Amino acid sequence: MITLDQIKKHPQIQAFIRATDNFIQQWGFTEHGFRHVNLVADISRNVAREVGFSKEDQELCSIAAYLHDTGNFIGRTWHHYWSSLLAYPILRELKMDPNDITVILNAITAHDKHDIKIVTKIAAVVILADKSDVHRSRVPKADIAHLDQDIHSRVNYAVTKSFLEVDNKQKRIILKITIDTKIVPLMEYFEIFTERMEFCRTAAEYLEYKFGLVINQTELL
C-alpha cells in the first residue's frame, strides 16, 4: 500500500505545494501551503481513526487531504479539479491500486464549495478536516497590518485555537474554537463561515454523526 510518507517525499508534489504557497502569498489569500496540507492530513487521519476506519482507509484519507489543495497554483476557482488531475499521473507512477486512486481523486474534487457532493466516507472526512482549519497562523504576516481590509484575514487572525473532536458516545463531531472577540465580533465569523459549517454538518451526517460547534466554550450547534 502507498503511504502518505511516500507521497510527501515525491519531488513533483513538493514542487506543486511550493508553487501553490507562492501563488497564494502573492495573491493575498489565507495560507494553503505545507502548514495547511500537513495539518489537514493529520486531522483527517485522526478523525478517520476515531470514527473507526480501517488502517488502509485512514491512509487514503490522509493522502487525499495532503493532495487536496496542490492545484491552487494553476488557478484558485477550479483548484479542486486541478488538484485531482495533477495527482492522477503521480499516483499511477507510484503504482497505487486503481480503486484507491479513484477514491482519492473523488475526495480531492469533493472538498470545494463549488462541488461538494459527498459519495464516500473518505471525502466526508477530508471536507471536515479542511473546513475546520481556521486559525491565526493562516494569515500571512504582511496582512496582519491590514486586518481591517479583509474579513477572511480578520476572522482567521481572531481564532487562537481550533480543534475537531470526535465524541463517539454522543455520536457528534465537534469543532471547538476560541475567538478573540476584541479582534472580531462573533457575527463576523458567521458572516463568512455559515456556509462552511453547513458543509461540515452534511459531511458529519454522511458519517452518521451530528455536527457540533462550540465557540468560546458556548455550544452553538
Residue 59 interacting with Fe ion (CB under 5 A): no
Question: Shortest gap between Cβ of 136 and Fe ion (angstroms)?
Answer: 17
Upper half-sphere CA count for residue 99 (Cβ side, 13 Å): 4
Residue 31 interacting with Fe ion (CB under 5 A): no
The DSSP bridge pattern shows strands 172-179 and 210-215 to be: parallel
In this structure, what is the dihedral angle of CA atoms 21, 24, 25, 31, given to the nearest 10 degrees?
-70
Question: Shortest gap between Cβ of 180 and Fe ion (angstroms)?
Answer: 23
How many residues contact Fe ion, by CB under 5 A?
Answer: 2
**In this structure, are residues 124 and 209 in contact, taking their beta carbons and an 8 Å threshold?**
no
Site string for Fe ion, 164-203 (x = CB under 5 A): ----------------------------------------
Separation between Cα atoms, residue 7 and residue 67, nearest integer Å = 9
Residue 100 interacting with Fe ion (CB under 5 A): no
Question: What's the per-residue H, E or C state across 68-87?
Answer: CCHHHHCCCCCHHHHHHHHH
Residue 130 interacting with Fe ion (CB under 5 A): yes
Which of 31, 59, 69, 100 binds Fe ion (CB under 5 A)? It is 69
Question: Which chain residues interact with Fe ion by CB under 5 A?
Answer: 69, 130
